Chain A
Amino acid sequence: MTKVLSVEDLSVTFALHESEVRAVNDLNFSLEAGETLAVVGESGSGKSQAFLSIMGLLAKNGRTSGRAMMGETNLVGMEKSRLDRIRGKDIAMIFQDPMTSLNPSLRVKTQLAEVLVKHRGFDKGKAEKAAIEMLELVGIPEPAKRANAYPHEMSGGMRQRVMIAMALLCQPKILIADEPTTALDVTVQAQMLDLFKSLTDDFGTALVIITHDLGVVAGVADRMMVMYGGRAIEKGRVDDLFYDPRHPYTLGLLHSTPHIAHRAARLDPIQGMPPSLEHLPKGCSFNPRCAFCFDRCLEERPPLMPTENGREKACFYEGPLKYGKVA
């Protein structure tokens, strides 16, 4: 397996009027060719900002530090003109909301073809032909006709297919999908996930799925990284984390998800609210909501420590985690 992306000490800060907010803190992970990594966390856990920063798409007041290495090149702090030769070609991103992520005033084929014109040097006619082929590949019926449509003439599922086609045009090494199924109907969600899986397998693309939907994770991911308060708190293979979570937060996430096998009368949400990034508690960020919290958690922040089987967790508690103990 070859590493296609290696992220080291990635931090993202946003300058506010008088203060500064750290949205992502010292994130470390790597991505192998062809694998699927799920990044899981609540809103505000920093999962989207981490990847937007790698793509150079942060809001104007955002600053990134650390490294995101694709081979020998560091994407963080790279000049925009150099970055523009990489993003869209070697690393592509699909966004959460297909309804607003396509330009309403341009035909679909224009928005697809320009990627090939820019990165492959195709002329317009050739690029549009290739775009139509790609639309067919992502399962759009009558692609030649649909290519002439404007985004508002398509359904949400169709538009997300267009987004996927757009991202895969140059067969990127890495595809980042930021909550790709959140805005879609459940039936369409499953189709999209199948499509992701088969296309990334075909192209050997490494896939990052950013989501809060554990169903999505179980369906497609090989490994997962759980984020909380801007930090990674547990990492490992999906099966390991699902059957044997080691961090109380991961356990809480799993129990707050409905499961078809356990007919629970009611769901078991994690108590409390996600922390405000401006006022993170001292010690472990999760301590106000954690049932396993003890003295040390209130004073010290647990670092991300390797355990067995290539897993990592950021928690001092070593005893057994049991269902129902998360208050």
Chain B
Amino acid sequence: MLAYAFRRVLSAIPIALIAVTVCFFILRLAPGGPFDGERALPPTVLANLRAHYNLDQPLVVQYFLYIWRLLHGDLGPSMVIDGFNVSQLISIGFPFTLTMALCAFVIATAIGMLAGMVAAVYQNKWPDYVLVLAVMIGVLIPNFLMAALLQLWFGVYLKWVPAGGWVSGSVWHLILPVTVLAWPHAGRISRLMRGSMIEVLGTNYVRTARSKGLGERLVLARHAIKPALLPVVSYLGPGLSYLLTGSLAVEQIFGLPGIGKYFVTAALNRDYGVVLGTTILYMFIILALNLIVDLVYAWLDPKVRYR
């Protein structure tokens, strides 16, 4: 198991390098630069700025300079927000983003699995149909529209919860954004869980378990859930990364102090350092998640072990 994990970490290195390279060059394809404003800067100031951030060097040289600094753990300065470097901005905004995404992730995964199981057991009966409807709403309505609808209904008309903004430590302010984030995730999880559970309930080994007189509850708990979790677990990694990236837009809409605020403005201002730094952070998170998922997978399905 340890050797397997080690090999997986090693194989992630070239993937990370390729991803950084692609991000670096794609970002430069976009027109404009960090110092283009409505009022053009005097040419000498612009030249000095460009020289300061190495933007006057050929692109390939800039790339190697960036990689070199990255290898030393330095994500570089922000080119737009004066006096801050990228690591500082991330450490200000990311803890909030991560907390919110994890909240949504845990809640949505638990609800999704439970709902999927119930739907499978009551296949083609009313609990199943209710679930399908809830899932459809969550998956089909994009999160910015869902956010607006919920703000309007629960925040403005009913006034049950704040429609936006942030008061430090207030759970009330998190309810709507977490709901918006969690709903589609719970929907996808429950669909996966329902499908795999129905499949598992029809297998020969579940029939064997029933023939032993174990009782339906034990058959479900011991014989059906573990194998049914396999496809769900393989989705959890990508699922959490969807939540983390989705939270960028949701934070913006609800005016929350996460990393989304910096990322969105940085992308619009061509703040190369911040955009790249955030992207690299997300990439590492996704690689780590996939590794964790694979390890959990090996635990769930003994056939994967020792490979």
Contact = CB atoms under 8 A, between A and B. Distances in A.
B213 A95 contact: no
A298 interface: no
A55 B303 contact: no
Which range holds the interface residue count of chain A? 20 to 34
A105 B213 contact: no
B307 interface: no
**B-side interface mostly:** helix
B214 to A, nearest CB: 6
B72 interface: no
A57 B207 contact: yes
Contacts of A214: none
Contact of A103 (B216, B227, B300): B227
Contact of A57 (B210, B222, B227, B301): B210
Contacts of A163: 208
A205 to B, nearest CB: 15
B204 A100 contact: yes
A115 B204 contact: no
Contacts of B208: 95, 101-103, 163, 166
A86 B207 CA distance: 16
A114 interface: yes
B214 A114 contact: yes
B195 to A, nearest CB: 17
Interface in B138-172: none
Contact of B213 (A85, A101, A104, A106): A85
A105 B226 contact: yes
Nearest to B300: A105
B203 interface: yes
Contact of B212 (A80, A88, A105, A152): A88
B211 interface: yes
A210 B107 CA distance: 49
B212 A114 contact: yes
Interface in A83-131: 83-89, 92-93, 95, 97, 100-106, 110, 114-115, 118-119
Given A103-B227, A104-B301, A118 B212 contact: yes
B302 A152 contact: yes
Interface string B213-227: 111101000110011
A80 B211 CA distance: 11
Contacts of B226: 105-106
A105 B227 contact: yes
Contacts of A102: 205, 208
A150 interface: yes
A81 interface: yes
B210 to A, nearest CB: 6
A83 B215 CA distance: 9
Nearest to B229: A105
Interface string B253-286: 0000000000000000000000000000000000
Contacts of B207: 57, 95, 101
Interface of A: 55-57, 80-81, 83-89, 92-93, 95, 97, 100-106, 110, 114-115, 118-119, 150, 152, 163, 166
Given A101-B207, A105-B300, 8 more contacts: A57-B211, A103-B205, A114-B222, A115-B212, A115-B214, A118-B213, A118-B214, A118-B218
8 contacts: A81-B215, A83-B213, A84-B215, A85-B213, A88-B213, A105-B226, A118-B212, A150-B302
